[in-house]
Amino acid sequence: MGRPCFKLERNHPLPLAGVDEAGCAPLAGPVVAAAVVLDRNKFPRGIDDSKKLDLAMREAIFAKLQQQARFGVGICTVEEIDTLNIYWARMLAMIRAVEALGFEPAMVLVDGNRCPKWERPSVPIIAGDAKCRSIAAASIVAKVTRDRIMAQYAEEHPGYGWDSNRGYPTPDHRRALRELGPTPLHRRSFGLVREALAAAAQPMLFAAE
């Protein structure tokens, strides 16, 4: 499969926004969505699914998108994730991303198999970040934005490796979760975090007995 292109976008009216999110699977931190409206006559070269790009390339394309595209970012906090569940938090982050554009796009293409519950014209595209250039651009904006947030959180909560694992359940993050316990930024609705909380509470129960 080649790089994302405008093929799936050309039959839709303009302005068209591509929407994607980053951070559904991590144990800690927010979920971040982005909505990107590209200028088809002037856009950064090399746009691709953010997972296929290294850090330097993502940052370089993001910097160009700031100059050549219009985009909005939507964030759902850990508290919202634990209240709504990660699926609905993802949807809410996407809604906020489109609203953050500051104008109403004529069409929205959403990565995944379902669009948020909104009235605006939209189409879901499975693996859209690998097919659709606007969605791929959104994946880059969402990924870079969330990675920067997690790097800042890593300074506030050292030991969990968030500057490199970004909150994903890597072996070093799992080990730190067991040894250091959960932080306020850990998603308590996720099984591995619940297990760590239960393990941390057991010594207190023994002490009480």
The Cα–Cα gap between 81 and 181 comes to 19
CA distances from 108 to 12, 138, 159 (A): 9, 12, 40
Provide the whole-model pTM: 0.94
Angle at 92 between CA 91 and CA 95, to 5 degrees: 90
* pLDDT digits 0-9 by tens, 88-103: 999 999 999 999 999 9
- pLDDT tens-place string over residues 166-194: 999 999 999 999 999 999 999 999 999 99
pLDDT in tens, 120-159: 999 999 999 999 999 999 999 999 999 999 999 999 999 9
Domain ranges of the chain: 16-208
The pLDDT of residue 205 is above 50: no
Assign 208 a pLDDT band (cuts: 50, 70, 90).
very low
What is the reported pLDDT for 206? 46
16-208 is a CATH 3.30.420.10 domain = yes
Q: For 121, how many CA atoms within 13 A lie in the half-sphere containing its CB?
A: 10
